[in-house]
Every structure is written in structure tokens, then in C-alpha cells.
Amino acid sequence: MRMMMKLLLLAALLGLGLAQHNPHYKHGRTSIVHLFEWRWADIAAECERYLGPNGYGGVQISPPNEHIIISNPWRPWWQRYQPIGYNLCSRSGNENELRDMITRCNNVGVNIYVDAVINHMCGSGGGEGHHSSCGSYFNAGGKDFPSVPYTSWDFNDGKCRTGSGNIENYNDIHQVRDCRLVSLLDLALEKDHVRSKTADYMNALIDMGVAGFRVDACKHMWPGDMKAVFERLHNLNTQWFAAGARPFMFQEVIDLGGEPITSSEYFFLGRVTEFKYGAKLGTAVRKWNGEKLSFLKNWGEGWGFMPDGNALVFVDNHDNQRGHGAGGAAILTFWDARMYKMAMGLMLAHPYGVTRVMSSFSWDRNFVNGKDQNDWMGPPSHPDGSTKPVPINADSTCGDGWVCEHRWRQIRNMVIFRNVVNGQPFSNWWDNQSNQIAFGRGNRGFIAINNDDWNMDVTLNTGLPAGTYCDVISGDKDGGRCTGKQVQVGGDGRAHFYISNMDEDPFMAIHADSKL
């Protein structure tokens, strides 16, 4: 009987976790885009005019709950990661605008994933004026957040054993999970009241129609406490999702190795952010430490990454593109556009993991002794601190400081490539033992990349049916013609690829839907 109970419990745990690994994409879509710091009204419009028509599967949105307002430095991006409560008014918009955006995006097949900050509230000394983005009063010094409400009883200070109250040693798992992360007031998620309030917040969003959550700072929470919260969450809204569908969870756990807390402790709860991916890919594309693209033949689990079914992968994220988080100077970003597009092409062509595309805003970089003094800068804003809308230029790029990498032709077309080859095996690998590589996805797609300092001039087996294909990196398929390069695939599946090392984009990609 006891063995039967153990098996049932294990099945329940596995069921919870496996259900929460599924992003619930609609219509054969396969990628998330993080529209970092966008307003809800702009995301709604972008779903309808661009993301839906171009096959994006979902949007990761910035934290929608009320947050601290900081004027020194002026309205930094990280004020969104200092919650004051769970009312739904942030600098991206109010609750009605949030609800409208979720509805409009779902109606065009684009899911919404919320960045959920449930580990902590604001910093212990935080807040000018002691009012949140919703106008709620709070007193961080007194640990008083009446809009929730949380009081001093709801924080972990009594459990923390460091002199400062902050994490001082990442090799002590109790410090990492019970002390303050950079002075942020650490919630006691073991307490029923905190679990209830956290679950209520997430359930309000699930009921509105979100498909899941990117959960912030998971390394700093005990997995058992997170499980207790996740078990209280509702099933997804059946207006847009299948009956019984569980929210998709992807958990931020920075694990580059060398610490006692590992990403694998969180696999049973959902997918986990694979930070090794962008760090290693950046090193390979930059050709640092003797790395070469030819070494990527066993990319993915063969590089010591987490199992494919647990991984959420990305070239860069909002933290490490600023030098925070993980990966250091190896991380490729929009500032390194030529290498960045190659890395994005490789990620989106390769079958490993659930992929997330970054969509950024630019800022005035100011390096002193190798450190960017302006990495705190918030999104393009009006003088009163309110976020500017995202203007779309005639050539479909964005203006006013919004970078919109997800609109770059090369990245958009590789998102479509991933949709077309979904479910096809990794195949037909070729390399020149240096930095020229190529591989296919069954009989549906093929990519060739030249990251060497000389031209690529080869005939390769693509695995594709005979015909004329448009290269979707240099252009598009436009009716019966290609606006960029063409690739002729012969009856034997072979095609000739010439890629100059001087090309703006030294890679090419073809797929079943780019065939004339």
C-alpha cells in the first residue's frame, strides 16, 4: 500500500511538472519574444499587426504589478523588479489596458507570459514618497505593504544568519534562499498567507488569459515553497486554451556550474532558463578561447546543458545584455549586430530547447574601467517618466530608441524557419573544421554559416527536395520571386553555397515554404 502511495505521489509530481513544461503555442508556433518594458497598448497592436502574422508564439511581458518609483537614478529599468503589491498598474499601463492586451493577443494566436516577481518586495530602504506606481502607500523600513497586505511577519529576516541581512556567500544554500538579494525584502514563501497572496496574484492573471509565467529569482526560493504556490494555480482560461491546461512555467535559475544550487532542482516545476547557452554560444561566435563553430556539432545536451525538455534558451536577456546576471562579456547583443544575427540564426535553426527572442531598447552607454555607468537606464520616456510608445517606421523598423530585434528581417525569418521545420530531426551536419558550418532539419530546412575570415564555397547535401529556394536571410520570398539570393537544390538534394566573409550577414537559410 505504501509503495502504491509513493507511485501515485510520484505520478502526481511528474504530471504537475510535465504539464508546466508546455508553452501551449497555437497554430504551430515555436518562439517567445520578450518585449522588454513595452506598454500594454503597444504590445496589443504588435500582436495584431506583426507577431501574429509572422508566426511568433508568445510574448514575455514585464512585471505588470505595482512597483516602486525611483527618481535617483531616474526611473531605472529595475524599478519594475521591486514590487510594492499586486495591483495591476505599472508603467506599462493599467489593469484595463493589460486585460485588453491579453485578449487581443490571444485572439490572434499569440500567448502572453508574465514576468512574475514573487521572491521579494522592494529594497529595505526603498522608495521616495513611499507611494507605488498605483499610488499605494508603503513603508519599506517598517516592512509594511498595506495594499497586499504584508507586514514584518511575512519576511525571512528572522531566518537569515548573516550580519548584513543580505546574501554574503552563494555556497550557503540557506543564505541564498533565506537572506536578502541585494537588500530586497525577502518574502517568507513557507507561510500560508504569503503563498495565498502570491497565488491570488498569479490566478488573477491566469483568469484574464495569460498562458504562463517567467518566474524571477527562483534560485532564491525553496523549490518546495514554489511547488506549494504552483499547486494553487488555476488551469488556463478555456476561452483560449484546452480544458485542464496548466500554466507554462519557466524559471530563472542562473546556473553556470560551481554552486551548490543547481537548475535540476527546479525541473519538476517547469522549464528552466539555460544561462550556459548564451554564454557558450557567444564565446564560440566571438572565437574566444580557441572556440570554433565546428565544435557545435553536438550542441545542446552534448555541451553539458540541461535536458532538452527542460530548457528555455536565449542568446541574451534583459539582465546579461547589460553585463548583469550571467555570461559576462561573451554575451552577444544588438550592439554586436552582425555576430548577433548569426547566433540568433543558429539558435532558431537548432532543435534544442524552447527559444526566446530579445526585443530591446537602446541606451547611452558610458564605459568607465570596463563598466557601463548607464546600465540602469530605463525605457525611452517622456520628461515625467512615463514610457514612450513604440513608433513603427516605414521600413518596419522601430524608432525613438526602441531596437525591436524581433522585427529584423533575418530574425523574423528564422522564427518562421523554426515553425516550418518544427518536429524535424537535426541532420546533414557539415563543417570545415573551423568556423564554417551547415546543418539541416530533416527535409524541411537547411542553414549554412560562414564565420571564417575567408569565403565559403561548397556544395552540400541539404536533404531538401529539388527546386529553387529563396534564401530568407538576404531577402524574402515575394510571390514567384526572391528579393535576395536564390539556392538551387538538385535532384540529389545537393546545393551550392557561396558566402563571402565580407557579407553583411554571412549566413544563408532555406526552408520548405521559401521554395518557389
Nearest-angstrom CA–CA distance, 211 and 202? 11
Nearest-angstrom CA–CA distance, 177 and 191? 14
Nearest-angstrom CA–CA distance, 34 and 111? 12
> Which residues have CB under 8 Å from 471's CB, separation 6+?
482, 484, 485, 486, 487, 508, 509, 510, 514
Catalytic position from the list 37, 97, 252, 375? 252
Q: Is 10 exposed, middle or buried (0-12, 13-18, 19+ CB in 10 A)?
A: exposed
**Pair 59, 113: CB distance under 8 Å:** yes
- The partner residues of 58 in beta bridges, in order of sequence, read 32, 111
**For the residues of 245-274, what is the DSSP string, one character each?**
PPPEEEE-----SSSSS-GGGGGGGSEEE-
* Residue 136 Rama label (left phi>0; alpha psi -120 to 50; beta): beta
Nearest-angstrom CA–CA distance, 199 and 228? 9
Nearest-angstrom CA–CA distance, 477 and 475? 7
Residue for cell digits 517606421? 393
* Residue 50 Rama label (left phi>0; alpha psi -120 to 50; beta): alpha
> Which residues have CB under 8 Å from 260's CB, separation 6+?
171, 173
Nearest-angstrom CA–CA distance, 506 and 94? 44
Hey, CA dihedral for 431, 435, 441, 447, is it positive or negative?
negative
Nearest-angstrom CA–CA distance, 357 and 56? 10
Maximum distance among all alpha carbons in the chain? 74
Catalytic position from the list 42, 216, 291, 505? 216
216 catalytic per annotation: yes
Nearest-angstrom CA–CA distance, 375 and 122? 19
The residues assigned a catalytic role are 216, 252
